[in-house]
Chain A
Amino acid sequence: MDKLKQYIALTLVGMLAVLAGGWFLLVSPKRSEAADLRSTAAGTESSNQALRVSLAQLKAANKDVPKEQAKIAAVAAKIPDNPALPALVRALSAAADDAGVELVSIAPGQPTVVAAAAPAVAKPVASAATDEASTASKGAVPKGVVRAGATPGAAAGTAGSLQSILLNLNVVGGYFQVEQFLDRVENLTRAFKVNGFTLSPGANPVKPAASQASVENGSSLTAVITGQVFLALGRPTLGTSPTTAK
């Protein structure tokens, strides 16, 4: 009977060993693996949920893209990506003609970087090459213009590097004609910021004989106007929506 008891005891010990070994060596690692996988899956699902929300927001915002593009186009008209001096000269001449003043002189300065540039926004990598090509294709960037990315503080971001060109204009006309001219200049398609002006009696240099009397009675005034126009050098060209995106 002792032998029988030994068998039973050994068997019980063996069973316990099998149970413990099976649990610790097989079952527990597998359960741990399963728990890890479930946790990872839950994390991934959570990320997916965030992506779903983001996607829904993007789809909703996609409807406003034309509005945003219109805003960008409106700003681009006010602040072109190159000096665009020919267009500016034509616009000023037309404004002078409309107001009835004589545009005697236009003197632009060299473009300079505006200190308080617009906040830079991360630039899409894909568009960088396009920008370079676009800027290069414009050619004729005047001397003194600092290229975007080469100047510390110049935001080579989504909006490009903001630069200004100082302008001195000399016009001759009556008080209200000068006022009209200023009004037209302030409402040009391109943004023109008048910084100041002086108004004093002065003759029209291209009509010397007839202007003397009008100078004396104050109906002919010379206005020296200082102002500035702007350009955004290196403004990237944004891509349009892909056809697959609905």
Chain B
Amino acid sequence: MTVLSTESRLVAGVTATLPRVNLLPPEIAERATVRKVKVGLGCAVVATLGVVGLVYMMAASSASSAQTSLDAAKTQGVSLQAENAKYRYVTDTQAAATAAQAQLTTAMGEEVQYSQLLNDLSLSVPTTVWLKNISYVQVPAGLPTAAGVGATANSVGAFTVTGVGFSHDDLAVWLESVAGLKTYSNPYFANSTEGLIGTRKTVNFSSTANLTPAAFSGRYSKPQGG
């Protein structure tokens, strides 16, 4: 082992000291270098093209994916629209019900239940007064009523009565009883004239009053359940 090691050291020392001789012409070496650089540059160009191609492929894939999503959404939209169209009758029915209810309100919203008024009247006529003629005239809201004297904007109709009492005071009682009913306002009278029925002195009178909005039944204008 010792001999071999010494020999190796000698060889190494000789090699290090020997001059190096390059017999290759510099043109050839330069051409080789240029060739290597050209190959490298070609590889770089190819790599660039590859990168561009790769990025393009990714963008194209993204576009394709988006197109697929869009197609699916469109298909679903068509399906949903078709299904919605199947339920068109629901909205039609709702609209028809609303319109029908509005129509009924238009027609009957200002209904006055005169049977109720007659009933109330029969309960409030003083015992010393008899009614001979009764007249109710309803007018559309906003128009002046026939009972024009002292008519108010709240009037929805006119109430006219001719009757008989025993004295003028009975007429006063009658007017007070009318004023006590919420469906009437502004009780008034045109005349109160004494007369005779047989031998009994009586008073003939004519009175008026306005109907107030409280006379409306509200059956068709109030919301259901309200």
Q: Which residues of A contact B (CB under 8 A)?
A: 1, 3-4, 7-8, 11, 14-15, 18-19, 22-23, 26-27, 30-31, 33-35, 37-38, 40-41, 44-45, 47-48, 51-52, 54-55, 58-59, 61-62, 65, 68-69, 71-72, 75-76, 78-79, 114, 116-122, 124, 127, 155, 157-160, 162, 164, 175-176, 178-180, 182-183, 186, 191, 193-201, 218, 230, 232, 235-236, 238-242, 244-245
B99 touches A244 (CB 8 A): no
B100 touches A159 (CB 8 A): yes
Q: Which residues of B contact A (CB under 8 A)?
A: 30, 33-34, 37-38, 41, 44-45, 48-49, 51-53, 55-56, 59-60, 62-63, 65-67, 69-70, 73-74, 76-77, 80-81, 83-84, 86-108, 110-115, 118-119, 122, 130, 132-138, 157, 217, 220
Q: Which residue of chain B is the closest to A232 with respect to CB atoms? A: B103
Expressed in whole angstroms, the Cα–Cα distance for A31 and B69 within the complex equals: 16
**B interface, by DSSP: helix, strand, loop or mixed?**
helix
B99 touches A30 (CB 8 A): no
A238 touches B81 (CB 8 A): no
A218 touches B130 (CB 8 A): yes
A198 touches B70 (CB 8 A): no
Chain A residues near B93 (CB, 8 Å)? 65, 68-69, 72, 238
A48 touches B77 (CB 8 A): yes
Please pick, from A44, A114, A159, the residue contacting B73 in the complex, using a CB distance under 8 A: A44
Chain A residues near B80 (CB, 8 Å)? 48, 51-52, 55
B48 touches A157 (CB 8 A): no
Besides A44-B77, A159-B103, A240-B89, 5 new A-B residue pairs in contact (Cβ under 8 A), listed by A number: A11-B45, A14-B45, A51-B77, A79-B103, A162-B103
Chain A residues near B77 (CB, 8 Å)? 44, 47-48, 51
Chain B residues near A54 (CB, 8 Å)? 84
Looking at the assembled complex, report how far the CB atom of B189 sits from the nearest CB atom of chain A, in whole angstroms: 18
A11 and B96 contact, Cβ closer than 8 Å, known pairs A47-B77, A65-B89: no
A193 and B111 contact, Cβ closer than 8 Å, known pairs A18-B49, A37-B70, A179-B119: yes
Q: Which residue of chain B is the closest to A183 with respect to CB atoms? A: B115
Expressed in whole angstroms, the Cα–Cα distance for A78 and B108 within the complex equals: 10
Looking at the assembled complex, report how far the CB atom of A243 sits from the nearest CB atom of chain B, in whole angstroms: 10
Expressed in whole angstroms, the Cα–Cα distance for A196 and B158 within the complex equals: 9
Please pick, from B53, B98, B107, B114, the residue contacting A197 in the complex, using a CB distance under 8 A: B114
Chain A residues near B73 (CB, 8 Å)? 41, 44-45, 48
